[in-house]
């Protein structure tokens, strides 16, 4: 059984506009609690007892959150800005920040602004020699990273916002990684948008036949824009 989970929560949350002006977007409240609380509660219920959370922007608010909920969740905070500075940016950076902490271990990886069902989180507790990526069928896959998967369920490639049809299975940011992921961090280069992308790392692993794709069975909610607050609230209230 895998017990450890990485939460990437260092970003500024610019799509949340003024709502994230004075705090990390992960702490914006819905139904009376910070969004992050619900992600942590689902992770705990799914059996992931040790959480490593990589923070950066307004980290003092994350420290306050941790202090408030320290009796409920076992969380270790890692400051990305202390390790990599504020100029190095991208979704691969939180994984780089925990390579010493999680060396030799498999772990779950999620973003702090995404919510998944307990069932799906449990389904990703797979202690084998493969990494896994969660896909979800979508009517407009061209707006996302799309998973190209072979007949045996192995990931061939993640294609970002493809101009030509690749399929309809989109990347939802839920991963299970083996320790091999750390071996590929220094093999990627800056993406066209000037960031170090975790999907580039995954594509390198996929070329070696080391990544399998699984479909989500339940909900995937992104907490990135102001409109998403109401969507999450409706879900928590059972209105979805």
CA torsion through residues 78, 82, 83, 84, sign: positive
Q: Any idea what DSSP says for residue 168? A: S
pLDDT, one tens digit per residue, over 80-120 is: 999 999 999 999 999 999 999 999 999 999 999 999 999 99
In the predicted structure, residue 197 carries a pLDDT above the cut 80 = yes
Average pLDDT, integer, range 152-164: 95
What the block records as the tokens of 228 is 């998403």
Per the CB < 8 A criterion, the answer to whether 93 and 201 are in contact is no
Average pLDDT estimate for 73-79:
96
| CATH number of the domain that residue 99 is part of | 3.90.550.10
- Residue 15 is predicted with a pLDDT of 76
Structurally, how many domains does the chain consist of? 1
Tokens (6 digits) for 96: 């780089």
pTM for the model? 0.95
- Is residue 21 in a domain? yes
Q: Is 162 within a domain?
A: no
> Is 44 within the bounds of a domain?
yes
Place of tokens 């192995």: 154
How do residues 36-68 score in pLDDT, each as one tens digit? 999 999 999 999 999 999 999 999 999 999 999
Cα dihedral 36, 38, 42, 47, rounded to 10, equals 50
Cβ-proximal residues to 137 (8 Å cutoff; 6+ apart), any chain: 168, 169, 170, 215
The verdict on residue 154 lying in a domain is: no
pLDDT on residue 165: 85
Residue partners of 29: CB distance under 8 A and separation at least 6: 35
Q: Would 149 be classed as within a structural domain?
A: no
Select from 145, 147, 140 the least CA-distant residue to 211.
147
The domain containing residue 65 runs over which residues?
Answer: 4-134+171-236
């Amino acid at each position: 059984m895998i017990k450890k989970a990485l939460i990437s929560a260092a970003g500024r949350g610019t799509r949340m506009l003024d709502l994230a002006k004075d705090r990390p977007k992960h702490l914006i409240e819905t139904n009376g609690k910070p969004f992050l609380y619900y992600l942590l509660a689902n992770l705990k219920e799914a059996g992931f007892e040790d959480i490593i959370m990589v923070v950066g922007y307004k980290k003092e608010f994350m420290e306050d959150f941790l202090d408030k909920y320290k009796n409920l969740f076992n969380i270790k905070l890692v400051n990305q800005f202390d390790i990599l500075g504020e100029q190095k940016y991208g979704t691969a950076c939180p994984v780089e920040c925990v390579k010493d902490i999680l060396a030799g271990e498999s772990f779950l990886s999620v973003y702090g602004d995404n919510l998944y069902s307990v069932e799906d989180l449990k389904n990703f507790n797979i202690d084998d020699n493969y990494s896994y990526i969660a896909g979800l069928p979508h009517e407009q896959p061209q707006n996302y990273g799309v998973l190209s998967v072979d007949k045996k369920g192995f990931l061939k490639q993640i294609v970002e916002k493809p101009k030509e049809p690749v399929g309809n299975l989109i990347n939802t940011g839920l991963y299970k990684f083996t320790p091999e992921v750390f071996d590929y961090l220094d093999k990627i280069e800056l993406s066209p948008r000037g960031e170090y992308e975790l999907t580039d790392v995954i594509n390198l692993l996929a070329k070696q036949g080391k990544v399998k794709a699984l479909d989500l069975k339940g909900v995937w909610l992104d907490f990135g824009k102001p409109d998403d607050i109401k969507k999450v609230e409706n879900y928590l209230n059972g209105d979805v």
